[in-house]
Chains A and B, each alone.
Chain A
Amino acid sequence: MVTANTELGYNTKVEGGVVVSRADAVINWIRTNSMWPMPMGLACCAIELMAVGGARFDISRFGAEVMRFSPRQSDCMIVAGTVTYKMAPQVRRIYDQMAAPKWVIAMGACASSGGMYRSYATLQGVDRIVPVDVYVSGCPPRPEALLDALVKLQEKVKREPAARRLLSA
């Protein structure tokens, strides 16, 4: 996928099909198009998350169909559902186990803010536990909304200074 941001350059003077670009652009290009989700399916939103993986909405068009339940293999945690206080430490622990770089999508009202569950047992927004990159509204969000969130996250990732972070890490 070549976009304006990819900054591809082709130098005819160098032989052998060499493409010149910025390291950031290449790294981010790779990252955006193979963003493996960690499906943190907690409640109702997980059903829509599965629908996104199904044939009709087909998240694999965006390179994110490889749902990995192993946090080590995944890049983007999709928190789909109500996070309770009992579950919150586990969510954080899984987030900690994910290898950097990592991103978080808070899918649905519950994950974003506690939603309709204003009660003693519910964490009022997963951003109290993990940093969130994209919030998706809806209870549950439609599959298209999740796809939109993924595209938004990809746009955000494309702007990251990936090379500098890699060198300084």
Chain B
Amino acid sequence: MAEIKQIVMPGDLISEELGKPRNGVYKNSDGRYCSSYFGIIQKNDQGVDVVPFSGKYIPRRGDKVIGKVLEVGPSMWPVDINSTYNTLLHMNDTPWRTTSGDIKRFLGVGDYVYAKIMTLNEIKESWITLKDVGLRKLEGGHITSIPAPKVPRIIGKGGSMVNMIKDATNTRIVVGQNGLIWIDGTPEDVIEAIAAISIVEQEAHTVGLTDRMEKYLKERSVK
């Protein structure tokens, strides 16, 4: 039986004194630090975070995300990044030589891109870019999604979890910070990978998950 991390509700006291502001924690009117989410407590060297069980992706500058093109404009693509707000990709922020009015040759409605959030303003309007190493249009493959707060769990420490799934299932995987995951491989391998990811998602709040996943994946590959 798996051990689980401590669960907190909105308003639960986390600590009297935290110092640096942490994720998912706010300071109430008495000056005490309380949880702002229903989630689990995550302790690390820098302090205590609250990781919610679910919720929409909140864009942050520099995050690499997977987005779906919603529309083709004269010079921009509105992109859905699984967040409260849509984002925009301007033709000048792509590696292609584009001219205004003829941009649907490069990206059409429904295409997926792996992009980086370039700018974000105070009313949460954002622009993404494809001009960086590794950023591209995602061709082929499958898309699956998990709640954005669980992305660090899928990636694991230094990418350990996702690399383990990649190796065991023989697939190519790209994980966006926004919870969308692109998987490429043979249909059987992709199904295996999605199954593994959904286990990680469902048990994200348990302790020692990487070891259990290693065991799980080993057993699957023997079959």
A is bound by B: no
Q: Give the interface of B toward A (CB within 8 A).
A: none
